Amino acid sequence: MLNQLLLLLFLPTLILVAVTFVSIVLVWQGTLARQQVKLSRSIANTVVTYTDSAKRVLDALGQTIETADRPHLKQFLTDTHSAYSYFDTLYILDLDGRLDLMTPLDHQYIGLDLTRQPYYAKAREQKSTFVSAPFISMRSGKPTVYLAKSVESGQMVVGELNLSTLQANINAAIGGDRENLVFVADRAGTLLAHSNSQLVVEQHSVGHMEIVRQGLETESTKIYRASTGWVFGAGVPIESLDWVVVSQQSLKSALGPLVRVVAPALSLSFFLWLWVLWTLRLQQIKRVVAPVGRLAETAQRIAAGNLDEQARLEEGKEIGELAASFNHMTQQLRNHINAENMIADISRRLMGTDSDSLDDEINRSLREIGRFVSADRSYLFLISKDGRTVSNTHEWCDDGIEPFVETLQNLPTENYPWLIKNAAQGNDIVIPNVAAFEQASAGEKADWIKQGIQSLICAPILTRGSLKGWVGFDAVRQQRDWSGKGAKLLHLAGEIFYIAMQRKWSQTALKASEARYRQLVQHAPAGICEFDLQHKRFIGVNDVMCSYTGYSQAEFLALNPQTLLPESHLSRWVQRHKGLTPDNPTLPPEEQRIMGKDGRLFWALINCRFVFEDDTPVRLTAVVHDLTALRQAESEKKQLEAKLAQVQKLESLGTLAGGIAHDFNNLLMGIQGNTSLMLLDENRKHNDNERLNGIEALVQRGVELTRQLLGLARGGKYEVKPTDPNHLVNESATMFGRTKKEVRVHQKYQAGIWRIECDRGQIHQVLLNIFVNAWQAMPAGGEIYISTANTTLDEATVKPHGVPPGRYVKITIADSGTGMNPGTMKKIFDPFFTTKERQRGTGLGLASAYGIIKNHGGIIDVASQLGEGSTFTIYLPAVDKHVAEDPVAKSRLRGGSETILLVDDETMILDVGRDMLETLGYRVLAVQSGGEAVDTYRQKTGIDLVVLDMIMPDMGGAETFAQLKHIDPDVRVLLSSGYSIDGQANEILNQGCSGFIQKPFSIQELSRKIRDILN
């Protein structure tokens, strides 16, 4: 009876054990599936981060192309390749698709046409960075993809991304777990990354694998037979690259924990049950059945996914151990899943964090990991680019634990010889007891003890076999041993942290590049603006463009472009940009008028470049140069060149005119002198008076002609005196008005007018010449308007005329005559140019007026239009001097008995001069050269006055005067010349010469000058 009862109880128990085992296997399979999918996702994120980082580097390089000059671009290309070693080669193509720059440099490729490369056309077509199909590089023998980015300038930046370094990232991500195998393949099934690198080199195909085909489309899991045996695999697609990540684990290793934990426990419980059935009584069997039933119920809840479920520890050794095994198994499973979730969450957060917040996020992640493994301190160390120093960049410390992040900065790497050597070899640094550890250097151990570290573990961060730093945990309060799960966790965290830091460095470089670009745009010596063609609005403008147009940035961005272009230019501009294509996106530069905020129109040179998406222009960049200053400068240059040409022409003619006038004045002197003497002769025939007076009148007309000729010559002033310009102009206008009754003269003079220093006779001559020209332009009569005013001329106004800025007196003479055409205007001051009939003018009037005003340091200008009259404007420099009184002219002769030395190289002048002086009662010594004059003055005593000619051969008047002055500092000299008082004559007068007399002179003028000096 008892045996039957035991048999009845055994069968249900056997079934329950079987059910429990199956349930646990199902739970384990679901957990394994989630684990493998998460691992594949994590690796997929690693791959995307890897390629995205490379894309960002290429984007930053593309931005630099637009702004940097060639030397800086070369350096930036080299620095970028050095910083991002996963690029085998970086190069830049020019506008024609030829290789322009590359690093590392290989001269045989420079200038190579790469337009037929498979990536070239695709990169031109799309706006984002193009990733090519993988291939085996002929230079490196490694799996490689092209990354190509076309920039707005038409150039292209290309990088050869070495995928072999991707395997190192994957190995770091799986933490060196030999039980897991991860590989990456493209849609063709070609291996891109695999732990067996030979399979990649041979371009081994896995396209036949169902897990690969399914994984390219969606996330999939599958148990299948591989070359190594039965495996459990998970495939996850990388949609942006059209690749697939497959992680697989052998069923043996996958079910190992289950077999090691569950199978012994169930077997033990089974045999225990048999033993109980045969050795215990029925009431004892009842006490065993109940705990087993509860254990089965716990297993079912775990199978339902409740991993927090705990088996109740029953009395009895066997049942208690079985429950403890259940609890240990679920705890390990829970810890493993929690660690995976934490790492996945950290990876997701770091990928979504901007560079400004990345440091805080890494510190937060260190806190999570440190608390997960019950560490007292967790940290990240990074080695500098040159490998000479290492810094504690990030750190988390538990409450009460002293931080060291601020003191562990820029430490020489030689301070960590043992740690760095082992880390560089890929070894984990695990030290359960720092105090007893003897392998590290004394300095390293001393530093750890100084920081209070009892136990530590560090995992190296390796990129392409190069040590970049390490991440680790410290135990300060008590010793710890993290040799199990700690190392794997650190490897995953270190890889994620370093990838995040690389992204930060790339973003920082990109921001710096963008900042430099913005700086260049803002401070470029040209206006720059961008226009969105799709939304019909401005999207960017620099300060220079705002200053050109007068708008603020906000006002400019709100403008309609039609506001800037006049209607006449707008339609033409619209027609010009039709027909542009992505291959021809730039308009030829063109000058156009732009309307500013105040309605001002100014000429600008506009360069336009369009950005296309497919075949549609979407954005326009315009570079604008304001041509106002340039056009003004060109106009001023032309005016200056014209005035310079006129000045040079007048100077040449003036030199000729001066020479002619000098010789002519000497001739006139002979005629005038003899005429004056004949008029004094009482024995002459009475009827000769009329003829002699006629000769004198002709001489005066000749004098007037020579005055006009000397007006053209340099230094054409005779007697310069401070003068009231109002009185001078009024005197000339009144004299003219009396003779020309048909012309009405209107005068307006400014009170308090400044004084000028001038030759009054010459300014009279200038004014009368202008008045006469105005009268001749009004044959039927008309109006002349005369005005004076004080004015100050600036540098810009006087520059074309070659006079200094400052105070001037402005004299304006306007008439209501016929006016002049532009051709006449250009020649009006040319010597001998006249529009009058031959017998009515010589063409010297306005030419001499120009020369006279020029010689006074002033400006004369004319404005005229046909039918609207002409306006002459004269500017004469103002002086702070009192007006000199005109001496009272005396017509009677004033003679004397003194001795006078007469010096002249012209025999005719010498003869007539001697006669005139002797007639006046003087004793005369006459010589024909300066040398004779010096010798005579040295030998003779009692010479009271020297009448000295200024222009003589051999020894001129200036040298002669200097030697006379050396002989007798008190010598009195009257300078005589056919030239004017300016120039060399003025220099002699300034050196102490007693007076000046202009040839030809009458005997009355000579007598007055001599007596003024001698008295």
pLDDT on residue 396: 95
**Could you say which DSSP state residue 374 is in?**
T
pLDDT over threshold 50, residue 561: yes
Q: Which of residues 668 and 289 earns the better pLDDT score?
A: 668
CATH number of 899-1014: 3.40.50.2300
Q: Which of residues 1008 and 566 earns the better pLDDT score?
A: 1008
Average pLDDT over residues 691-698: 66
pLDDT over threshold 50, residue 528: yes
Q: Which of residues 236 and 581 earns the better pLDDT score?
A: 236
Q: Would you call 208 helix, strand, or coil by DSSP?
A: coil
Q: How confident is the model at residue 871 (pLDDT cuts 50, 70, 90)?
A: very high
- Sheet containing 180-186: order of strands: 191-193, 180-186, 243-250, 229-238, 220-226
Q: How confident is the model at residue 433 (pLDDT cuts 50, 70, 90)?
A: very high
CB 132 within 8 A of CB 160: no
Q: How confident is the model at residue 884 (pLDDT cuts 50, 70, 90)?
A: low
pLDDT over threshold 80, residue 169: no
At 762-794, the pLDDT tens digits run: 888 888 888 888 888 888 888 999 999 999 999
pLDDT over threshold 90, residue 715: no
Q: Which of residues 126 and 469 earns the better pLDDT score?
A: 469
Superfamily of domain 637-879: Histidine kinase-like ATPase, C-terminal domain (3.30.565.10)
Q: How remote is the C-alpha of 769 from its chain's centroid?
A: 58
Can you give the three-state secondary structure of 863-931, one letter per residue?
Answer: EECCCCCEEEEEEEEEECCCCCCCCCCCCCCCCCCCEEEEECCCHHHHHHHHHHHHHCCCEEEEECCHH
pTM for this one?
0.37
Long-range contacts of 565-569 (CB under 8 A, 24+ apart): 565/592, 565/593, 565/594, 565/595, 566/593, 566/595, 566/601, 569/593
pLDDT on residue 890: 46
Q: Which residues contact 565 (CB under 8 A, 6 or more apart)?
A: 573, 592, 593, 594, 595
- What span, in angstroms and rounded, lies between the C-alpha atoms of 377 and 493? 15
Q: Which residues contact 171 (CB under 8 A, 6 or more apart)?
A: 195
pLDDT over threshold 60, residue 180: yes
pLDDT on residue 271: 59
Q: How confident is the model at residue 714 (pLDDT cuts 50, 70, 90)?
A: very low
CB 716 within 8 A of CB 689: no
Q: How confident is the model at residue 685 (pLDDT cuts 50, 70, 90)?
A: low
pLDDT over threshold 80, residue 9: no
- CATH 3.40.50.2300 range(s) for the chain read 899-1014
Q: Which residues contact 660 (CB under 8 A, 6 or more apart)?
A: 709
Q: Which of residues 923 and 347 earns the better pLDDT score?
A: 923
Between 138-147, 182-191, 209-218, 743-752, the lowest mean confidence (pLDDT) is in: 138-147
- What span, in angstroms and rounded, lies between the C-alpha atoms of 367 and 378? 7
Tokens 């044959």, residue located? 779
Average pLDDT over residues 183-197: 82
Average pLDDT over residues 877-897: 71
Q: How remote is the C-alpha of 927 from its chain's centroid?
A: 77
- CATH 3.30.450.20 range(s) for the chain read 1-349, 524-625
Between 136-150, 575-589, 724-738, 829-843, the lowest mean confidence (pLDDT) is in: 829-843
At 474-494, the pLDDT tens digits run: 999 999 887 656 677 888 888
pLDDT on residue 526: 85
- CATH 3.30.565.10 range(s) for the chain read 637-879
Average pLDDT over residues 418-439: 91
Nearest to 903 by CA among 977, 1012, 985, 998: 977
pLDDT on residue 886: 54
**Could you say which DSSP state residue 942 is in?**
-
Q: Which of residues 761 and 529 earns the better pLDDT score?
A: 529
CB 979 within 8 A of CB 951: yes
What is the CATH architecture of 352-509? 2-Layer Sandwich (3.30)
CB 620 within 8 A of CB 610: yes
pLDDT over threshold 70, residue 688: no
Which top CATH class is 524-625? alpha beta
At 947-993, the pLDDT tens digits run: 998 888 888 888 999 999 999 999 999 988 876 555 577 788 888 88
- What span, in angstroms and rounded, lies between the C-alpha atoms of 345 and 352? 11
Q: Which residues of 922-944 are buried (b: 16+ CB within 10 A; e: fewer)?
A: bebbbbbbbebbbebbeeeeebb
Cα dihedral 570, 574, 576, 581 in deg (nearest 10): 150
Q: Would you call 52 helix, strand, or coil by DSSP?
A: helix
At 398-416, the pLDDT tens digits run: 999 999 999 999 999 999 9
- Residue 659, H or E segment: helix 628-680
- The pLDDT mean for the chain works out to 78
pLDDT over threshold 60, residue 1015: yes
* Angle of the 760-776 helix axis to the 845-855 helix axis, nearest 10: 140
pLDDT over threshold 70, residue 73: yes
pLDDT on residue 411: 93
Tokens 């690093």, residue located? 103
At 247-297, the pLDDT tens digits run: 887 777 666 555 555 555 555 555 555 555 555 454 554 555 566 566 666
Between 394-403, 566-575, 683-692, the lowest mean confidence (pLDDT) is in: 566-575
Superfamily of domain 1-349: PAS domain (3.30.450.20)
Q: Which residues contact 299 (CB under 8 A, 6 or more apart)?
A: 20, 23, 24, 326
pLDDT on residue 74: 83
Q: Taking the CB of residue 103, how many other CB atoms lie within 10 A of it?
A: 19
pLDDT over threshold 90, residue 56: no
pLDDT on residue 375: 92
The most confident of the ranges 657-661, 682-686, 729-733 is 729-733
pLDDT on residue 838: 42
